[in-house]
Amino acid sequence: MKVWIDFENVPHAQVFRRWIKHLELKGHEVVLTADILKPLLRLCEIFELHHHVIGHIPGKGKFDQLRVILIRSNQLRKWESGKGIDVALNHGSRSHQLAAWSLGIPVMTLDDYEHSFQLFSRLFATDVYFTSIVFENSKLPYPKIRPYDGLKEHLSIDLGSIPSDNPILEKYNIPADRIIVVVREPSSTAHYHDEHSTELFNAVLDKIRNTADTWCIALPRDFKGAARYEEIINCTVILPDDAVDGHALISNADLVVSGGGTIGREAAVIGVPAVSVFRGEKGGVDRYLEEVGRLKMIGSQHDIDEIKIEKSNKTTPLLPGDTNLLATLTAHLEDIAGRKRK
């Protein structure tokens, strides 16, 4: 089986790297395409994922973003010509879904946020796999939805071998007795962005600034995001000058502050205290992690006051319901590949 995986966003390299190795060990051939995002391409290098760069400069606004999706989809179509792909696999990559569908290639798509479920997935994916937590608690209206018993983060995190050492801690000589807080601000360009999230995030940074013996490792989304840390924080701040292995970084943290992305859920799965300032419509995964005490959703100053910034004791990792999750999903992928249009 020849599998075509596409990375349309930075976290996708982390999400699929273990699955890629699993597929190759089973004797399947994997080809990778990646959008033209500098942090994404750097992660591909760090993880030694051989990839083909195919992309277009991202647009601003819904209509411009749609234009860019269509341009990249056409680029992907041209790249695939004659490669004999059996099945396409992605995590909500819209340009990939359209390109593969138009070529008669069956598409397996994963998603974990029901409130952003995309038109492209509805129209062009063969099957869409959601975590069972979302599947069971959402009324998604079409028959192509399939559940899997775990979280997206269980695909990327090897809970049996999370690295205990971290090059960043060594590189910046962070003392072992200091409090380490990893922060990532809300996305200002996402369709679900809420300005209240940014206000709450800034208030959390103020609290970090006023906590003694704290080192803050900030992972800004862009240059504008990097500037905020110079303006707001006076404590010891680290802005890594290269892409980092997020799992190793999280495992050494005492607290993770998320703007609403994957990093907060990764911390929750690994067993590190995590808070999120996300103020869009709460998804089923965040709701579940909050209910089991793994993630604290921040909505007010009172919530911020209750955040504990201290040396923490990690909890046990959160295991998936399906302990053979990669094998289970690979079996589904093999089944979808058999539906290729002749």
Which range is least confidently modeled, 70-79, 160-169, 210-219, 282-291? Answer: 160-169
Structure tokens at 14: 């982390």
- Reply yes or no on whether the pLDDT at 192 is more than 70: no
- Average pLDDT score, the chain: 87
Question: Which has more confidence, 198 or 331?
Answer: 331
Look at the domain 167-305 and name its fold: Rossmann fold (3.40.50)
Residue 276, CA distances (Å) to 13, 14, 52, 112, 273 in order: 22, 20, 34, 16, 11
pLDDT band at 189; cut points 50, 70, 90? low
Please compute the mean of the pLDDT values over residues 218-238 and round it to a whole number.
65
| Residue 130 Cα distances to 110, 221, 332, angstroms | 6, 26, 13
110, pLDDT greater than 80: yes
pLDDT at 28: 97
Q: What is the per-residue pLDDT across 93-109, written as a single tens digit (0 to 9) for each?
A: 999 999 999 999 999 99
Task: State the angle between helix axes of 284-291 and 262-270 in degrees (0 to 180), rounded to the nearest 10.
Answer: 30
pLDDT: is 48 or 143 the higher one? Answer: 48
Separation CA 310–CA 306 (nearest Å): 12
Min mean pLDDT across 83-97, 180-194, 276-290 is at 180-194
Mean pLDDT, residues 40-59: 86
Pick the more confident residue, 245 or 27. 27
* Superfamily grouping for domain 2-158+322-337: Glycogen Phosphorylase B; (3.40.50.2000)
| Angle of helix 195-209 versus helix 223-232 axis, rounded to 10 | 40
> In CATH terms, are 2-158+322-337 and 167-305 the same topology?
yes
Greater confidence (116 vs 30) lies with 30
Distance from C-alpha of 97 to C-alpha of 118, rounded to nearest angstrom:
11
Q: Is the pTM of this model over 0.85?
A: yes
Q: Is the pLDDT of residue 32 over 80?
A: yes
- Domain spans of the chain, in order of start: 2-158+322-337, 167-305
